[in-house]
Structure 1
Amino acid sequence: MDQAVLPLTPTEEERSLAAIVPPPTADAYWLTPYGVPGAGSTNTTYIAGHSREGRASPFNNISSLAKPGDRLTVTTAEGPLDYTVDRITTENKDTLKDSAIWDKVPGRLILITCFTEDLWGKNIIVQASPVPAN
């Protein structure tokens, strides 16, 4: 997967409910009020995108393609950053706001998308940690 990522600033209501819905495009979105990837990160970096059956979407099939131990690379203006996938989980949308994914963890990367078999009820969450620099 090679996906461009655009900035997105959720509303206060979306943030308080953890009900962040990216625009209905084939793009992925970095949630700007949270972490920034790279050195000096003070929070988790979140990237959200849609999954859809029968249509191109940024995170289609991510739950079947990503596995713990896989490497992800995020390219920033400062260069590429490598992450290792720690785990892939399914979260209910109605309880997502209380999930540990919102805990402040500097350097962590979270990818959030809909579960194509239950678009309105569940999200797929990919959690990854930065690969230590040599």
Structure 2
Amino acid sequence: MAPGAVRGARPGSSALPPASPPLWISYPAAGIELSVLPLTPSAGELRAGSLVPPTTMDAYWLTNYGQPGSGSSNTTYIAGHSWENAEAPFNRLSGQSAIGDELSVSTATGTVNFKVLSVTTHDKDTLRSSNVWNIVPGQLVLISCYTEDIQGKNVIVTAVPNP
């Protein structure tokens, strides 16, 4: 998705479990308690920089990228829906996420705790070329539609391990 992605460095931590696919996300401040299912974007979706998660009440881990935990080789991306006038998994991500929030992602090898570094919005048509796709091992990025402009913007929550 990001042809010019740069490799970032995050110090490893022995307190983290080994990198493994995410199974559950807990983000109390945003009211998110969800199972995380794998989603493998097609080559066409990756080229287009666009994907639409299945319309379920789950969160989706983009399998083409990183996994949370020690030894991760890329950013971990988890996406979920936000809908207008209806309940959706990530509706509160737009209005209730804040820098400093704590969240956790559970995997088969353990739980990784994260601290939110930023909450931003991006235009949907420029998201694919943004720095959101930079390779930063260990980093977690949550992506959804921005509830105040579902059609035009995405909300992006970026977090790092908080052992």
Q: What TM bracket, shorter-length normalisation? A: over 0.9
More helix as a share of residues: 1
Task: Report the Cα offset of residue 12 of structure 1.
Answer: 0.8
Q: How far apart are the structure 2 equivalents of 1:80 and 1:15?
A: 29
Q: Which has the higher contact order (CA 8 A, sep 6+)?
A: 2
The answer as to whether partners of 2:103 and 2:115 remain within 8 angstroms in 1 is: yes
Aligned partner of 2:69 among 28, 33, 38: 38
Of the three residues 20, 29, 40, the one matched with 1:9 is 40
Within 5 A, what are the aligned runs for 1:26-105? 26-105=57-136
Contact 2:94 2:147 in 1 (8 A): no
Identity of aligned residues (%): 53
Match of 1:19 among 32, 47, 50: 50
Unaligned runs of 5+ in 1: none
**How far is 1:66 from its partner?**
1.2
> Aligned-residue CA RMSD in angstroms?
0.9
Q: Whole-Å Cα distance in 2 between the matches of residues 4 and 29 of structure 1?
A: 8
Q: Identify unmatched segments of 5+ residues in structure 2.
A: 1-31
Q: What corresponds to 2:8 in structure 1?
A: none
CA distance in 1, matches of 2:58, 2:85: 16
| C-alpha displacement of 1:25 | 1.4
**Runs (4+) off by over 4 Å:** none
C-alpha separation in 1, matches of 2:36 and 2:85: 22
Q: TM-score scaled to structure 2, two decimals?
A: 0.78
Output the CA distance in 1 between the equivalents of 2:82 and 2:133. 21
2:150 aligned partner: 119
Amino acid in structure 2 at the alignment position of 1:34: Y
The alignment covers a number of residue pairs equal to 132
- AA partner of residue 60 (structure 1): N
Give distance in 2, aligned partners of 1:20 and 1:99: 15
1:40-76 Cα deviation digits (max 9, x unpaired)? 0000000000001232211112121111001110011
C-alpha distance in structure 2 between counterparts of 1:32 and 1:11, whole Å: 11
